[in-house]
Structure 1
Amino acid sequence: MAGRIRDADIQLVRDRVDIAEIIGERVTLRNAGGGNLKGLCPFHDERSPSFNVTPARGVYHCFGCGVGGDAITFLTELDGLGFVEAVERLAARAGINLTYEDVDGRVQRGPAAKPGLKQRLLEAHAEAADFYAARLTDAEARIGRRFLADRGFGRDAAAHFGCGYAPDAWDALTKHLRAKGFGAEELTDAGLAKPARSGSLIDRFRRRLVWPIRDSSGATIGFGARKLFDDDQGPKYLNTPETALYKKSQVLYGIDLARKEIAKSGRVVIVEGYTDVMACHLAGVPVAVATCGTAFGPEHTRILRRFLFDSDDAGGRIVFTFDGDDAGQRAAAKAFDTEQRFVSQTYIAVTPDGQDPCELRQNRGDAAVRELIERHTPLVQFALDREIAKHDLDTAEGRLHATRAIAPLLAGVKDRGLVEEYLGDYAGRLGKDKAELQSAVKAAAAGRSAPEPVPAQRRSREADSTQLRAQREALKVALQHPQLAGPYFDAVDATPYTDPNYRAVREAVAAAGGAAAAAAGANWIAAVAAACTELAASALVNELAVEELFIDHEPDAVYVRTLLARIQRPVVEAEVADLKGRLQRLNPSTDKDEYMSLFGKLMSSEQHVRSLRDQAANAVE
């Protein structure tokens, strides 16, 4: 067994290694004054940077969660390396040849210690990346080169992104790596090889175009492989399985090439595939990254936040790009669930005609890709529009369901200033008052499943009670004084009666011939009761026929008119809101005739509301 690393060498590693460089590969650091650097802590989520690095002393400390140490500690804590493995990795970077001592203090020169598992897996991946890249020039790989060329990627682009080819052989890579000294268990642990049914070890990737997947430091930790042949029974894209190095929920393709530009510009573009990353970088958008065979999730957010310096004061920008098809729409909606973890603003750029950035670059050139990214829409606006599009806003039910759908989305928007803007915009589109939509949003934020009663949609309980009492009173007057109430009562149909039994009685009055034609007395009451289709309504007729009115004098025409004005007013107000919403959704220049027709109806309805308001001033209280 190898001995321990000599203390003097460990100290030499600490002295020689630039801790800012090591940490800067994982966290964007900015000058904090006094020789210190500051960034977002990689060990806990925070909105304001509290992670400090002091290069002169070779140490770091987070004032938020309390972690701290030197470069060795950083690798052991963040990458899960053992102490010796972390020292060896740093020593290799600094060009230091470590010395080991056995238990008796005798010196063992050179690489006497066996590298740790993760270091061996990294070395195996580095060898595999070189092997695949070299194979891309073989005659057999012509189909892979053609695949790249057809998408606008030449030899230089392939080399820049490390593209390679997995040959048509069962164990070409396995034999190559075994010859380099890697054992079967190491190749299996790395996900580069797998056992065959025969028990022998075979390559995981065969007859495929290969992309190396690297971490932010540039070390290869896995591969993505694209099917090239029709008789390949595997999936279109096949990635490295979960290993000690490769965890798909934490991997972003292209982060090694994009991280410095992300830190510099405060912007990141999230695309869907390897070729999309290539297309964006080559088109002048060097901040593009992609997930590897999985949806964008919380761990991806944490990684990007560190590079974006995503804090309250940073003002960064995150742009998601998705295809315009249904799958892309669903992916965008799912991204909205995660975007709230960013402090910076998030946007979406939907590619035209279902083209991804790679296809867009092929068909329309580099400028079209740049234009796509610049022509972005706030992600929250995209999500709101997508929900609203599911509902028919020309119906009251559709507007209600649309309100319920967007209220939770608005409740989750982190920028309260934006919420105010959206409230005004979307309230208009839904034909509602801003206060009404705001109340629904507050209800959603409080965790209620449905909006609490809000103005102009549902009256408060007190107002509901008053309204129902007015409806009940109108029915009593029609039953007890039909000749007085008839001319006014019969002119208002059952629509304003919100209680089902009240509505049934109103319909029974009409079925019995109307109040105006009736004579007060038992026959009239019996006729209405007989016209009821439900027993509950029939019983209610008899109850209303004997119940006292809410006035201490004989009713007159003014009393009847005020009652009917009170019960009609909510219906006409809803019509006004509906007309306003429909007008806002029309373009006056292209829908002129319909616009003018609706505008005329709106003017008439608003006049009707004013008239009812005046008449209802003396209504039942």
Structure 2
Amino acid sequence: MAGRIRDADIQLVRARVDIAEVIGERVTLRNAGGGNLKGLCPFHEERSPSFNVTPSRGMYHCFGCGVGGDVFAFVMEADGLTFVEAVERLGARAGIQLTYEDSAGRSSVGRTKPGQRQRLVEAHTAASEFYAEALHSPEGQVARAFLLERAFDKDAAATFGCGYAPDSWDALTNHLHRKGFSAEELTVAGLSKPSRSGSLIDRFRRRLMWPIRDTSGSVIGFGARKLFEDDQGPKYLNTPETPLYKKSQVLYGIDLARREIAKQGRVVIVEGYTDVMACHLAGVPVAVATCGTAFGSDHISVLRRFLFDSDAFSGEIIFTFDGDEAGQRAARKAFGDEQKFASQTYVAITPDNMDPCDLRQQRGDAAVRDLVAGREPLIDFAMRSEIAKHDLDTVEGQVAATRAVAPMLAAIKDRALLQGYARRVAALIGVDLAPLRAAVKEASRGRGQGGATPPERVITGKDVNSQQYQAQREAIKVALQYPVVAGTYFDAVDATPYTDQQLRLIREAIEAAGGTASTEGGANWMAAVADKCPDLAAQALVAELAVESLNVNGEPDIAYIRPLLARLQLPVVEEELRQLKSKLQRVNPSSDKEEYMRLFGALVTMEQHCRSLKDQASGAPGLTSTQ
């Protein structure tokens, strides 16, 4: 049904859903102190974590790119959903039945029409269940045999959701039609396709199926393996590009591996679905694979967020390759991508050209674990592979090898390792260190000596280092994060002292939301303030201030907020005092004694008030009173 979701239900969903859990499905979050969590931003590339989450207040903010808000804002930004769709998804997650109100205020239990993304996920979920059931039908015997031949039993098939696409042109299509999915939805989802006659038929048939899930565990596509010799299609067939499935961003097994990747600070990159299964079952639960495309920049972005891959944290990225020429080419390409990681990269070479699935089948689980344990630095393998291509018994071969390997040395991130590797390479090629160093220097010039430095985020239009601005900002933070502490002290000071326009708008929004004395805080308080902000910039600043640390150890108290508020008021009172003195100087006491005495009395009172504020303001952390 049409209508808006009841405000009470929105607040209930916001209170019930753990924002750290929702965001943690896409980003590894680590304790940053003060009740805050920190990770690498999922919305822009960064080397140092600037993405902050404060679970107690239900807010997130990235100090790098400026995005922020509550849990609804995150889901909307991450998945391109509307507000209603975000509330519905999180409401379903929390088991909350939503109530909708029409324009006349009448309430009904029901739902709006689901958005496209939700419908496509539901279609894929239903398809996954259909394929899984077909795997255990008599026709699915050939698919079960394929799995058993590779040491994957019934439990393994269930863990990874394996299924079978029946030998029918439209079995799945008809099944999903009966469940209410339209022809357009099935076509957009990539589950069905038009036939030459114009009717809709299944995209996959007579194949072993693997559901491909996103980081939250939602099925977004499928990988299909050929089982019959007379199948004229490719060995592996994947879902085409859809609104859900972007092959350059998808990693098979990430839903199962992401927690272990974060825990171990390690990821193993393999080539296929069965390799991922073999690794996980053998005790390497950090394995993932690309889906029908080469490992690239978008895959790196996904993994960096789960690895907490930053300049301050060193993890491990382990590529598995065959030792043949194709494996060497893959290793050299991987080395080109290696610079996009802050963590160290390694390569694990499978013996006898076996992939991890074959290795487990022939030599057992321990052999797979040993493969990963025996990893070597990727640069070692890449350089040795490059050197081996040249005839080092000739001067020409030595020169060519030197020129070929110099760019690889120049690309080493850790400059402390460069000299050691240079000596090792010089010995392998059989040349002096001096010409190799010269070649590396030349290669470094071509690389631009380290590349461009990302621009810093700059706040313009205000002196962000001024004590007055910092005091205004700190007072608003206390009001947002600890409204019970701010209470009537904060509410008693109106928006007048806030010289920064955005902070003034937030102060007015706090008043419009009922003031700090009217709330106990939490995510709904933040949302109420943001809703009262008149523009997007002020709303974004609310999200930023909600997670920004206070200038105090532990939680603030009255002794912390009162000096801040005094510091805020002091410039206003000082200006009023200056104007009062000016007026007094212009009054002739002999001709207008009554006005003179009135102004003089007001001046004495104002000076006493000013001195009191200065005394209080002197206790504000990191702030001093004006003179």
Any idea what SS the aligned residue of 1:218 has? coil
Residue pairs, 1:457-536, within 5 angstroms: none
Question: Is residue 173 from structure 1 mapped to residue 172 from structure 2 by the alignment?
Answer: yes
1:246-275 residue CA offsets vs partner (Å, 9 max, x unmatched) = 000000000011011110000100000000
8 Å Cα contact 2:348-2:376 kept in structure 1: yes
1:562-598 residue CA offsets vs partner (Å, 9 max, x unmatched) = xxxxxxxxxxxxxxxxxxxxxxxxxxxxxxxxxxxxx
C-alpha distance in structure 2 between counterparts of 1:103 and 1:323, whole Å: 64
1:23-71 residue CA offsets vs partner (Å, 9 max, x unmatched) = 0000001111111111111111112111110000000011111111111
Amino acid at match of 1:342: F
Contiguous gaps of at least 5 residues in structure 1: 450-621
Any idea what SS the aligned residue of 2:52 has? strand
C-alpha distance in structure 2 between counterparts of 1:32 and 1:120, whole Å: 37
Question: Is residue 89 from structure 1 mapped to residue 82 from structure 2 by the alignment?
Answer: no
Alignment TM-score, normalising by the size of structure 2: 0.70
Amino acid at match of 2:323: G
Residue pairs, 1:94-243, within 5 angstroms: 94-111=94-111, 113-243=112-242
Aligned to 2:425: 426
Aligned to 2:36: 36
Amino acid at match of 1:23: I
Any idea what SS the aligned residue of 2:317 has? strand
Question: Is residue 263 from structure 1 mapped to residue 272 from structure 2 by the alignment?
Answer: no
Structure 1 position 81, deviation (Å): 1.6
Amino acid at match of 1:334: K
Structure 1 position 323, deviation (Å): 2.0
Alignment TM-score, normalising by the size of structure 1: 0.71
Aligned to 1:2: 2
The count of corresponding residues between Structure 1 and Structure 2 is 448
Any idea what SS the aligned residue of 1:349 has? strand
Aligned to 1:465: none
C-alpha distance in structure 2 between counterparts of 1:4 and 1:421, whole Å: 65
Aligned to 2:578: none
Any idea what SS the aligned residue of 1:38 has? strand
Any idea what SS the aligned residue of 1:269 has? strand
8 Å Cα contact 2:321-2:349 kept in structure 1: yes
With a CA cutoff of 8 Å and minimum separation of 6, indicate the structure with the bigger relative contact order.
2
Identity %: 73
C-alpha distance in structure 1 between counterparts of 2:433 and 2:72, whole Å: 56
Query: Alpha carbons of 1:448 and 1:7: their partners in 2 closer, same or farther (altered >3 Å)?
Result: closer
Aligned to 1:343: 342
1:497-556 residue CA offsets vs partner (Å, 9 max, x unmatched) = xxxxxxxxxxxxxxxxxxxxxxxxxxxxxxxxxxxxxxxxxxxxxxxxxxxxxxxxxxxx
What is the CA RMSD across the aligned residues, in angstroms?
1.3
Amino acid at match of 1:62: C
8 Å Cα contact 1:295-1:331 kept in structure 2: no
Structure 1 position 87, deviation (Å): 1.3
Structure 1 position 332, deviation (Å): 2.0
Amino acid at match of 1:403: T
Structure 1 position 448, deviation (Å): 8.0
C-alpha distance in structure 2 between counterparts of 1:219 and 1:326, whole Å: 37
Question: Is residue 383 from structure 1 mapped to residue 382 from structure 2 by the alignment?
Answer: yes
Question: Is residue 50 from structure 1 mapped to residue 34 from structure 2 by the alignment?
Answer: no
Residue pairs, 1:588-607, within 5 angstroms: none
8 Å Cα contact 1:3-1:108 kept in structure 2: no
Question: Is residue 71 from structure 1 mapped to residue 63 from structure 2 by the alignment?
Answer: no
C-alpha distance in structure 1 between counterparts of 2:19 and 2:173, whole Å: 36
Any idea what SS the aligned residue of 1:329 has? helix
Query: Alpha carbons of 1:2 and 1:356: their partners in 2 closer, same or farther (altered >3 Å)?
Result: same
Amino acid at match of 2:386: E
Amino acid at match of 2:369: R
Aligned to 1:414: 413
C-alpha distance in structure 2 between counterparts of 1:448 and 1:27, whole Å: 31
C-alpha distance in structure 2 between counterparts of 1:430 and 1:160, whole Å: 49
Aligned to 2:475: none
Amino acid at match of 1:328: G
Residue pairs, 1:279-298, within 5 angstroms: 279-298=278-297
Query: Alpha carbons of 1:373 and 1:3: their partners in 2 closer, same or farther (altered >3 Å)?
Result: same
Contiguous gaps of at least 5 residues in structure 2: 449-627
Structure 1 position 237, deviation (Å): 0.3
Max Rg structure: 1
C-alpha distance in structure 1 between counterparts of 2:265 and 2:399, whole Å: 39
Question: Is residue 248 from structure 1 mapped to residue 251 from structure 2 by the alignment?
Answer: no
